[in-house]
Structure 1
């Protein structure tokens, strides 16, 4: 399969959401001939397309298929005739990555993907030489800000046996850490593991429901922080107004300057939340999990790479992976912080700045005891090529859960996998 650098973003935006989108009465399904959708480089993959009308094979019709390298460099569309509701398409990749097929009719669409030796994917660029110095300076500046947490008791909606608080903590960058914190009533000093829940993209309050984790595995410290340092528990209209206004384009704020990229403040709040949790007298001094999906997965990787107090991460369909993928002729993940310049080439300043906020570089520096990561093979928001590039850069014990026909979502199986991994780490930590 021959690829050229052409129309990369066009296909990405044309794909839209990853879920299969049947029209009333018509359903398209797509699958690969390998049940696990995994192939060796150069091996042929056969995609099967099924069209059902009111639950029965469509008598006749046509579909249009587009193959691409995980959303980049699409091949010309191919029109296939359906026979007894089925059609097949053959393709291959001659390099590690994902061969994505999108099939459409005038009323429905579906996707499938074949993974080609994804465990061989490497970061698209090396770690910047001053990466550690940059982040050491950020953390040193943060350390000069007194912790000064303000805790306000919360009782409504809190499970019996848990004491919960709205927590506001001073931080560098002008915005506080804002979250909900829960602990078991009557916990003894140095007796509890801790978990920090971090959010996906969007603008919302912290999640009070996360304090229920305080009751898991004999007791835990559990904290959930919102991504933007916003007050908690406000009406929906409050967050909607921010999402449509001040925070509308936060994902691309300051992308040409590593000092101004929005995620710098987010990651400093992440470290400050860890400061708070590890300062609690009940913390056991060794167990601290960072748990999140999408943008929360981005934060989990950053926490592992920036803070040695983190003992385990759970990162579902992580964003923030391989921002510089264009330099290896590949796709990058959300937040797509490297725009193209007027000539169609990646903006040089944004490309350089993005390297200090890339999961592939955080992964290389992760020293925690383990990681649980999930991926969707037809995810066009955080494409699997980018996720594997970061996952492969981890040198710690790790495990991947793959949903081969899922897009950008935490499926029930993926959520169960992450929760089980977190609780297993707690049990193992208690046994040491």
Structure 2
């Protein structure tokens, strides 16, 4: 087992040049953000206004231990750094989020304030991990876990692929080099596999490595640009949606469909492992791999899976459920440690928060269903090389849940972790080591003479 933790240099969380307005220079006394239980984390933050230290503004820092607010500190800015100290009494995650408080006592928000538009009041944030290598999930792995997924595999094998490919246009620069297709592949469950396949025009049989990208939790079409660009580099590339809805729709059209199709916010049928709405996605994950492996261009040697957030748990499932996968690039994955709330953390994915946790506890069958789909329980099955990343400011797919998954991987599996204390979700955390490994693999591929 090899653990490679990549960290970024000590930098301001948001350069003032990012927008004309406020930004925050926030730092920890340990630049990598890793601590031991018993250590004190010292966080310093300087509020900047148009590039100059702010004077007179009220700055609030919310300190959280996992999902729980530890305290809120308020400071009157005096043109210098403020200091916040906190610690953890157990392995886990510590978070510092900063807001500017207006005259009415409410946080300011909007352009010129936020670090990221999905967190409209947060001017800056940073996080720390305590004894990350000791974070473990409670054992929830069903005794028949492997047998169950073997039965799912057998049932899926009874369904013919019956792929439907429709050629679509590619960017002008790639014409004559790449062909791209909208695809639909039969699958069990509510919807088929949908997405885009791209193939180099001159590809020979069994000549190409393959890469499958899994779409994150967004109401939009799978990307056609990513696979086309991958194919131009000599890769058999597939990008599939998480939802299996028809390709080519607009974001608004997908959202309209979701109003009736996305039953109970994705929680429908969650008292049974086979009927849970989310189960269908795992079947589509496997079926996408069946399809790419059926292509004559695949070299039968290299099969990469990649995704972030919801695409991250799909990549975990792909690596766990298909032994032909040779490399997994997993970024800020959701779906890990659904029972984390029992250790003072939070449940995963759609079941985060008190209301969703109450839903789990209202019927014990739900916890069983989620256990069959938990990334932590899939981890022991992963044998391929795997590159994982997490940001310590990620409040959506928390770093402790990612480490719970990472630490559950077999000792014999080659695993690598990239971290950053200043980044969070929404594409802000980069899988530095994984991206490098991927570029190294595909750099050696040549298609055109």
Q: Which residue of 2 aligns with 1:252?
A: 267
Report the Cα offset of residue 91 of structure 1: 1.2
Q: Distance in 1 between matches of 2:395 and 2:330?
A: 17
Separation of aligned partners in 1, 2:364 and 2:326? 35
Bigger mean CA deviation after superposition, 24-33 or 313-322: 24-33
SS in 2 for 1:341: helix
Q: Does 1:143 align with 2:139?
A: no
Question: Measured at CA, do residues 174 and 330 of structure 1 come closer, stay the same or move farther in structure 2, by a change above 3 Å?
Answer: closer
Q: Contact 2:127–2:393 at 8 Å: present in 1 too?
A: yes
What displacement does 1:246 show?
Answer: 2.1
CA distance in 1, matches of 2:348, 2:179: 38
CA pair 26-176 structure 1, distance change in 2 beyond 3 A: closer
Q: For 1:255 and 1:290, how far apart are their aligned partners in 2? A: 27
Per-residue deviation, residues 28-77 of structure 1 (Å, max 9, x unmatched): 4432111111111211111112122343223345433332212x222232
2:231 pairs, out of 195, 207, 214, with 214
Q: CA separation of 1:66/1:415 partners in 2, compared to 1, >3 Å: closer, same or farther?
A: closer
Distance 1:258 1:19, change over 3 A: farther
Are the equivalent residues in 2 in contact too, given 1:175–1:229 (CA < 8 A)?
A: yes
Does the residue aligned with 2:358 lie in a helix, a strand or coil? coil
Identify unmatched segments of 5+ residues in structure 2. Answer: 1-12, 102-107, 114-121
- Total equivalences in the alignment: 407
- Give the 5 Å matches for 1:197-346: 197-209=213-225, 210-216=227-233, 219-247=234-262, 249-336=264-351, 339-341=356-358
2:30 to 27, 34, 37: 34
Task: Classify 1:429/1:255 alpha carbon distance in 2 versus 1 (closer, same or farther; 3 Å).
Answer: farther
Preserved contact between residue 14 and residue 24 of structure 2 (Cα < 8 Å): no
1:249–1:415: structure 2 CA closer, same or farther, 3 Å change rule? farther
Q: CA deviation at 1:346?
A: 7.0
- CA, structure 1 residues 237+330, in 2 after alignment: closer, same or farther (shift >3 Å)? closer
1:52 to 36, 43, 48: 48
Q: Is 1:312–1:425's contact at 8 Å kept on the other side of the alignment? A: no
Match of 2:440 in 1: 424
Separation (CA, whole Å) in 1 of partners of 2:32 and 2:432: 19
2:417 maps to what in 1?
Answer: 400
Matched position secondary structure for 2:350:
coil
> Structure 1, residues 159-181: CA drift from partner, whole Å, max 9, x if none?
23112222211111142111211
Query: Which TM-score applies when normalising by structure 2?
Result: 0.83
Contact 1:301–1:313 (Cα < 8 Å) also in 2 = yes
Per-residue Cα deviation, 1:261-320 (whole angstroms, up to 9, x for no partner)? 222111111111111111112211121111111110110001111111111111111111
Instruction: Please tell me whether the aligned partners of residues 149 and 321 of structure 2 are also in contact (alpha carbons under 8 angstroms).
Output: yes
Partner of 1:103: 98
- Pick closer, same or farther for the CA change 1:283–1:379 going to 2, 3 Å: same
TM-score w.r.t. length of structure 1: 0.86
**Change in 2 beyond 3 A, CA 1:406/1:117:** same
CA separation of 1:341 and 1:318: change in aligned 2, threshold 3 A: closer
Cα distance change, pair 165–258 in 1 and its aligned pair in 2 (3 A)? same
- Quote the offset at 1:224 in angstroms: 0.9
1:335, distance to aligned residue in structure 2 (A): 2.5
How far apart are 1:366 and its partner, in Å?
0.5
Cα distance in 2 for residues equivalent to 1:61 and 1:273: 53
What is the root-mean-square deviation in Å for CA atoms of aligned residues? Answer: 2.8
- 1:198 positional shift: 0.6
The alignment status of 1:195 with 2:233, answered yes or no, reads no
